[in-house]
Structure 1
Amino acid sequence: MTAPIAAADVTRHKWWGWGQDDVAFSVTNRPAFIDLARNEIGIDLANAPDPVAPVLTDHEVPATRLPGAVREQLAQALGEDAIRDDDEHRVLHSFGRSLPDLFRVRTGAFERLVDAVVYPGSEEDVAAVLRIVLEHDLVLIPYGGGTCISGSVTPDAEEQRPILTMNLGRLSRILEIDDTSGLARVQAGMYGPDMEAELNEKGWTVGHFPDSFTFSTVGGWAATRSSGMQSDKYGDIEDIARGLRLVHPDGVAVTKAIPGRDSGPSVHEMILGSEGRLGVITEVTVQVHRSAPVRQVIGYMYPDWEHGIRGMHAIARSTDVTPTFTRLSDGPETKFSLALSSKTPTTTKSKVSAKVQDGLFAYLRSQGWDTSEEMCLSYVCFEGSKASVEQQKSIVKKIVKANGGVTLGASVGKVYDQKKFDTPYLRDFLLGHQVFGDVCDTGATWSSINEVHTKVYEAFEEVQRGQDLPGFMFCHMSHSYHAGACLYFTFAFPYSSEEQALEQYYRAKEAVQQTFVDLGSTVSHHHAVGVEHRPWITEDIGEVGVRMVEGLFADNDPGRNLNPGKIVAS
């Protein structure tokens, strides 16, 4: 068996933001985006200097609380190279990528940091660490890629016991591919791109592409009930994860990778979405599919949101098409996307493209379309044989036309496919200009989706008026199901001062989240619970449901050693 990688080689973010140090968003040659930012949230990016990267030595980092004897015991179990307690590793692993986490880490709000980071190289190492945690009454937080935006890996500021973060990044291999069953056993710390690359070489794909794909892990997907952009075809993680291994205080829990389960309440379902509160997921058996010979993303445009939703609904209910994904941006998001992608033409090709777009928009305006505020951009992805893709494209084109839309073609879709993982870098850029940009998502039925869309906007606009702050919100629909779809809202606004920033942020976020649950939608569609969504968990699953979850955690972790406070407070 191949030896695990060294702890020093595990992929990780920069300590203060998203991704790698050499990648960043820039407004260079984006005049339309500069105009949008000035008009919608009142910031002048044209004359503002580029944000300066934070420097960790500018902040005071509290000393570790881990006793030396415990550290020595961990080093004996794992090896000295598998323990990290330097400032940067502790800061990095004490924050996820939620907006509050990023704000706190940038401003040096280090009230409570993890005391050490351990890097197990095997399931046996994981069990050894858990035994030490229980022996010394420590707290253990499992950590995949650290991309969660719900506070799932953030330690409780009030926790006095020593806290360990367990980075699973050394468990990063595909252990086995069952070609006959279409199943792959994957270690929990394997990053999405590494897994897909290895599977693709053998003609397979998992088809799971969350926004966090480039820096998230298979185990993290399972622990937080992740959903990917292509869930229309491949399903959410509960459809993809067929079997699990979890190191539990009493041993190893194993769920079989078999179709159908008739063994009482599902242990498999208990582990999915448990956010480290039942133990540490070490392995996930995922369903894999043969890579399609043809893949195309086609762009469409609708005159407004209601026409677009009718088109999306018709596609979801069609018995003749099975898209890999469907997505509809509302008017404000379309405006944002066009501004972000619009650059001053400098080549013959770009000048021709700009003229084509201008001509199309002029034609649409002649047909009564509002091309500045109302029209809605849509994408549909098709996979399969050439004949199948062409047939499905033809059917969807007719559906779009029947619902007032027009087909833009493959070139628009190709641009979306190339840029789909870049948005988090924009959030870092905006934070450097004292602007909050964040997201809230929910699942809604087709019958309520328009009401949820309208009411969330009203709630956000009302709270921003009350705060006397500008704000810009936009939304897209994705993850279509028979009964409904996901609504994914993004909002941005400049905060008035560092002292009031998080209070102003939470007023906006709470207005959106409360509207979700008031209208019977989910507290989140695929961003986990953690601590950020915990205030609404009772409204989401009911008082009896909360007691059932509390009982599950209390029975399996009576000492509250396993990531306490996530999902429910107790």
Structure 2
Amino acid sequence: MTTPPSTDRPDTDRPTATHNPASGVKHMKWWGWGVEGVAFHFDDKPKFAPFVKQAVGLDLSGEAPPASVDFSTLTVPAPKISDDLLTELRGVVGSENVISDDEPRVVHTYGKSIRDLLRIRSGDLPRVPDVVAYPGDEDEVQRIVDLAVAADAVLIPFGGGSNISGSLQPPAGETRTVISLDMGRLNKVLDVDEDSGLARIQAGAQGPDLEEQLNKRGWTVGHFPDSFNHSTIGGWVATRSSGMQSDKFGDISDITRGVRVATPSGPLVLRPLPSTSTGPSVREMILGSEGRLGVITAVSAQVHRLPEERVILAYFYPTFDAGLEAMHDISLLDSRPSITRVSDAGETGFTLATAKKTSVGQTVLFKVLQRRGWDLDKMCLSFVGFEGTKAHVARQQAAVKEIVKKHGGMGVGKGPGVLYDQKKFDTPYIRDFLLDWGGAADVSETAAPWSRLKDVYYNTIDAAKQAYKELGIDPGWVMCHLSHSYHSGACLYFTFAFVYGDRDPLPLYEVVKKAIQQSFIDNGATLSHHHAVGTEHSPWLSQDISPAGEKIMKGLFAAVDPGSNFNPGKITS
């Protein structure tokens, strides 16, 4: 079965609040990641507290700080919506599916970036949606689109709310009515064309739900982003998402063969064709459009039969350079693995520190590596995933084994891979935990050609460290892994963290974030590989795609949406 085990129930230590509207649509906590009653703790992870103390200077001894989230302390702006528009919305989707209560409006205000979480925890709510509407089918979506344009309202599509690039919040100075269009009721796999391997899926289907429906029929979409448990296929398309198995299945732009979109001009229908020559690709325009061109209602996705065998193996390399070189060689194999990932020494240390115990076998292995001359402080952990028939998996493993050996690496079996597979969706919970203790952590990811990859890595690490130095943060933390490989290059995924203490964390975050993002551009990489542009990355758009490219993009948005009714201010103003 290709669907990774759901592990959205890691260590729990306190009750949390969430909101479940009458429609039954699932939402994350208004103040953090994940679902009610789930949080991170380190009581059974003996290496975690020492690691955090060394990495960012945060002392986790003593009593945990009290939870700093209390909805009753928020001042939520009153909704601004006319009785006529409210009545019309209720006429489309039913009164029970038009919500104007404070908590659901707050849930739909932000995504889950560190900026979003810091603002929501501090009660910074300059503008929230005035109403949340839950359409039940494509016709209702189109009717709401038409109502919004006629009323000159702002319409912001909402999937799972997992976005971390500022793609969801209403503009602070927006005076028009803001409608959050929650697609959660559109959560079905409508049909599967088994001859073509194409599934038609409603845009609001979250990862676990659509995989469950596909798996029952023997299929998988093969798309597993970090946000899998709480994101939708419509959101994946709107942000040009990549998944952990994109080496084999491709990113969402490869998986998406057709799409249906509610636009100001009526329904846009792009049939699921294998390839076309019909001028500039409208499908490509929709991919990554973040709601600026309309509301995605359904996706025709390329799907695959569940594999006979699936295994993830772990490897160690003596250095990150050796790991990068091995990933490059693996990317050139005729038969590609499904996952190619290698962490630098910092992230390897973090991964080992989150383990519940150190096995006897691991202790023996590390002693063997030391006798071979390895510096364990430079050692890097890698995961490679294989799937297909047993014979195919065996051939892949043999080819990878030779490459690992060539670059001085060592295979360490299935055990770490099983743990990775079980826990890979749980890391965001640690960010909420750190916020409770006065620490901030976030991510930036990019992609570059293989020839530029090492420069991107080392110069970005240096840029982050220099930013910490300028801010007087000692120590500050930055770590990285390679997460997706292509014939011509790869994605590097950076995580950075620091303790802010009594200082305002947002200005500190902005300095570090800007240093990392500018390093990407200066070293020949892109502003984002799969987290989208939103408002977080828009300052670098012109440098990335050139001023002429940004002008084309602005012209496209203005032509399709002359009234700027659709998620204004995202990607480019």
> Secondary structure of the equivalent of 1:447?
helix
Does 26-35 or 243-252 show the bigger shift?
26-35
Could you tell me how far apart the structure 1 residues matched to 2:312 and 2:289 are? 34
AA partner of residue 191 (structure 2): E
Decide which of 353, 365, 369 is 1:364's aligned counterpart: 369
Paired residue for 1:67? 82
Decide which of 382, 386, 392 is 1:378's aligned counterpart: 382
> Secondary structure of the equivalent of 1:222?
helix
Paired residue for 1:26? 41
> Secondary structure of the equivalent of 1:113?
coil
Paired residue for 2:252? 237
Contact 2:99-2:131 at 8 Å conserved across structures:
yes
Tell me how far 1:50 sits from its aligned partner: 5.1
Contact 2:439-2:501 at 8 Å conserved across structures:
no
Tell me how far 1:387 sits from its aligned partner: 1.9
Decide which of 475, 488, 497 is 1:492's aligned counterpart: 497
The alignment-based identity, stated in percent, is 48
Paired residue for 2:461? 457
Question: What's the CA shift string for 1:495-544, capped at 9, x where partnerless?
Answer: 1435x211110000000000001111000000000000000000011100
RMSD: 1.2
Describe how 1:217-366 pairs up with structure 2 within 5 A.
Answer: 217-319=232-334, 321-343=335-357, 354-366=359-371
> Secondary structure of the equivalent of 1:154?
coil
Tell me how far 1:210 sits from its aligned partner: 0.2
Tell me how far 1:312 sits from its aligned partner: 0.8
Q: What count of residue pairs does the alignment treat as equivalent?
A: 553
Paired residue for 1:425? 429
Contact 1:456-1:516 at 8 Å conserved across structures:
yes
Paired residue for 1:58? 73
Could you tell me how far apart the structure 2 residues matched to 1:160 and 1:495 are? 34
Q: Report the TM-score when normalising by structure 1.
A: 0.96
Tell me how far 1:68 sits from its aligned partner: 2.1
AA partner of residue 245 (structure 2): Q
Could you tell me how far apart the structure 2 residues matched to 1:52 and 1:213 are? 26
Paired residue for 1:155? 170
Could you tell me how far apart the structure 1 residues matched to 2:339 and 2:247 are? 5
Could you tell me how far apart the structure 2 residues matched to 1:248 and 1:17 are? 32
Decide which of 506, 514, 517 is 1:513's aligned counterpart: 517
**2:417 aligned with 1:413, yes or no?**
yes
Quickly say closer, same or farther: Cα 1:7–1:282, change in 2 above 3 A. Answer: farther
> Secondary structure of the equivalent of 1:479?
strand
AA partner of residue 192 (structure 2): I
Describe how 1:464-483 pairs up with structure 2 within 5 A.
Answer: 464-469=468-473, 470-483=475-488
Could you tell me how far apart the structure 1 residues matched to 2:532 and 2:421 are? 25
Paired residue for 1:349? none
Quickly say closer, same or farther: Cα 1:261–1:6, change in 2 above 3 A. Answer: farther
The gaps in structure 2 that reach 5 residues or longer are 1-19
> Secondary structure of the equivalent of 2:125?
coil
Could you tell me how far apart the structure 2 residues matched to 1:560 and 1:334 are? 45
AA partner of residue 168 (structure 2): V
Question: What's the CA shift string for 1:88-133, capped at 9, x where partnerless?
Answer: 0010000101111111111110111111100011111111111211
Could you tell me how far apart the structure 2 residues matched to 1:9 and 1:106 are? 26
Decide which of 174, 182, 195 is 1:180's aligned counterpart: 195
AA partner of residue 491 (structure 1): F
Could you tell me how far apart the structure 2 residues matched to 1:30 and 1:123 are? 47
Quickly say closer, same or farther: Cα 1:205–1:237, change in 2 above 3 A. Answer: same
> Secondary structure of the equivalent of 2:310?
strand
**2:210 aligned with 1:206, yes or no?**
no
Does 489-498 or 362-371 show the bigger shift?
489-498
Paired residue for 2:161? 146
**2:189 aligned with 1:167, yes or no?**
no
> Secondary structure of the equivalent of 1:142?
strand
> Secondary structure of the equivalent of 1:300?
strand
Tell me how far 1:6 sits from its aligned partner: 8.1
Decide which of 376, 392, 396 is 2:396's aligned counterpart: 392
Contact 2:64-2:437 at 8 Å conserved across structures:
no
AA partner of residue 167 (structure 1): D
Tell me how far 1:202 sits from its aligned partner: 1.1
Could you tell me how far apart the structure 2 residues matched to 1:40 and 1:236 are? 33
Contact 1:51-1:433 at 8 Å conserved across structures:
no
Contact 1:140-1:562 at 8 Å conserved across structures:
yes
Contact 1:64-1:116 at 8 Å conserved across structures:
yes
Contact 2:293-2:566 at 8 Å conserved across structures:
yes
**2:206 aligned with 1:191, yes or no?**
yes
> Secondary structure of the equivalent of 1:542?
helix
Contact 1:7-1:169 at 8 Å conserved across structures:
no
Paired residue for 1:346? none
Tell me how far 1:460 sits from its aligned partner: 0.4
Tell me how far 1:208 sits from its aligned partner: 0.1
Contact 2:23-2:185 at 8 Å conserved across structures:
no
Contact 1:325-1:479 at 8 Å conserved across structures:
yes
Contact 2:32-2:112 at 8 Å conserved across structures:
yes
Decide which of 383, 404, 407 is 1:403's aligned counterpart: 407
Question: What's the CA shift string for 1:396-426, capped at 9, x where partnerless?
Answer: 1111011100000011111111111000111
